[in-house]
Chains A and B, each alone.
Chain A
Amino acid sequence: MIASLTLPTTGTLRFSPDNRLSLAGTTRSISKMSFATVNPCKSAIHASTATAPAVETRKSRSASLYEVLKVNRNASPVEIKTAYRSLAKVYHPDTSSSSHSDSSDGRDFIEIHKAYTTLSDPAAKALYDLSLSAGSRGRPFGYAAVVSRSGFYPTRRWETDQCW
């Protein structure tokens, strides 16, 4: 599972800001590492682009959908919806709080939306609950592995608009 999470990023040629920063100086990559340990989700990305493989092991513990939405297992549909909206306001790339902090790059919102899609659908939620209680430590139902990359959301990267 670790392999399938990180492989696409290792293979791709990418001039991401983080990659560049880590090349620029060791101080930067150290701070990046310490940041990565604070936020296990985020480390998945940096592990492949810049920092030491030691970090990689930490991210394999994926949060349950309830943890993603920060709600209880027995939350009502209304609570789930409210949680989704309030998280969207923080993590959606359009909102002011996310565009100025480094802690969200849109990938978080995709995760949140996926969790919401599953938990707001009664049938899918029941199946997911079943998979949780079965204690399967594997990939939980409906929770697609997040294969993402860093520095993605600044709109312009190195490519020009090729369609001119």
Chain B
Amino acid sequence: MSTTFLPCGTYHQNYSQDHAWWQTRFIKAKMALLFLILFGLIPWQADSYWLSVCNQIGYTVLGALGVQLLIGFCGQVTLGHAAFIAVGAYTSTLLILEFPWPAVLLEWGLAYPVSILIAAVIAGFWSVLFGLPSAKVKGFYLILTTMAAQFITVDFIISQYISQIGGRGQAFSLPPGTIKIGPWVVDSDLKVYLLMLVLVIISIIGVVNLLRSRVGRAWVAIRDNDISAEVMGINVVKYKLYAFFVAGFIGGLAGAFWISNLAAISPEHFQWFWSLWLVGVILIGGVGSIHGAIFGSVFMVVVMELLQLAIMPLADSFPKLLMDFLFIKEAVFGLAICAFMIFEPNGLAYRWWQMKNYFNLWPFSY
């Protein structure tokens, strides 16, 4: 969490300026431009394909944000985050499909938004349940207990029991028109995109705010040195569970959001590999940085899409490439992580930080 240097000649007069997010006019303009692109340019210029790529990125960001919080900020290595995303997705779906909503709520289109919130809270508590071992174990042992979360939740409870509700077999399908917020039916890539943006922005604001207040500092302290954190008056177990709750909460949001993009959800969407993928995303983006979760998600999703685009024309002459695309994707994923671990272990976020500092200090970098 090293801070970026301020541009030459910028001085703060009071502490609230130093605590602010966007401290100079230049940064404010930059962020305004970013929002303009996100809300003004992409939705109206991008075609449906690229919008769906953006949605994929947003989904990955939401997932990676929780993983980043646990691994990057609280030091609790997790390899079962897909379980909490699954809990969110299934809770939301089941609430929409099975819950006897009062007619008023249905009419006002509140079923989906309310279910998102409930799904996030339930996923949060589910995550706390599997975070309990963190009171006693750390490191490699914790990785195993979080993997247990994955297998117990998705492969056992969801596959064997939840999926059987209503006798539908493996997948739940959501009839068109059930995903609506107020009068606004989320039925196109554009609408999913806007929903995604709102959720991603809210989550990022929440996490960044937490990180600059008491709770977030306690998390980072636990990551850096849990013994002295405890001596400094932090209830380590409680704050670890807080971290699991918030991570699960955002995971639940991710899951509940993603059903708007899927016609049908099945346990296959939340396999263990997805948990691993999210960890890979933050390794590439940079551990211990919010930028890292975002950059990593953009990088991974875009690289995979480009890979697919590159393979398409070759598929005519080598049809096997297309068949084996899944394996190619996994190989590239592994390769990308290896390359980043060797050449830039601090991830993309670190490069970004260096770049900002370079320009902020230019021309007097000493």
Partners in one complex: no
